[in-house]
Amino acid sequence: AILVDSNIGKNHVIDSYKVNKNKIFVCEFEVPEYLKRSKIFNIYKKYNLPKKKFIFYPAQFWQHKNHINLIKAFNLVLKKIKNINLVLVGVDKNNLTQTKNIIQELKIEKYVYILGYIKNEHMRSFFKKAEVLSFVSHCGPTNIPPLEAMYCGCPIICSNVYGMKKQLDGSGLLINPNSYL
């Protein structure tokens, strides 16, 4: 048997590997237990963040996670809203240097916080304090961070790719991840 996260994922497996559809079972993601058990704490003190509104993006620094378009879009936001930051969490996979370079080119270093790896039990506090989760990944079919954000009551801006529309079920703003405008 093969477990997948969505019907779109099931179709991807069938199309890519010519597997019998009767051997594939959909098991949708659920809210992780660490999020349910974790307590809210002062992220501003722990992570040395200013007490300002922030946009949150928890994603490893892979190219397909689309940090570059997010940074470009955030730069446009800063032209209208000065009292906001962007908080990025995740480890470098192949795209952190490029992400830092675009931040420097746009001269927005004082508004962008790259925190690296954070513990799972700290995620709930970030979702609770964030103004919005920006989840601009090119991948799916579905993803855990939007599910976590919904659980924590954090508004969501999310890529309209694969199964994300169904996963969000009207609980977020869907965007084209190929454009930062």
pLDDT digits (tens, 9 = 90+) for 149-161: 999 999 999 999 9
**How high is the pLDDT of residue 126?**
98
Residue with tokens 């019907």: 7
pLDDT at 105: 98
Q: Which of 150, 158, 156, 163 is nearest to 175 (CA)?
A: 158
pLDDT of residue 124: 98
The per-residue pLDDT for range 3-37, each reduced to its tens digit, is: 999 999 999 999 999 899 999 999 999 999 999 99
Question: Angle, nearest 10°, between helix axes 67-78 and 96-105?
Answer: 20
pLDDT tens readout for residues 60-118: 999 999 999 999 999 999 999 989 999 999 999 999 999 999 999 999 999 999 999 99
Q: Give Rg (Cα) of the chain.
A: 17
Which pLDDT does position 66 carry in this prediction?
A: 98
Q: What is the pLDDT of residue 165?
A: 95
Strands 53-58 and 84-89: parallel
pLDDT, residue 112, reads: 98
Q: State the pLDDT at residue 149.
A: 98
Give the pTM: 0.95
Report pLDDT for 161. 96
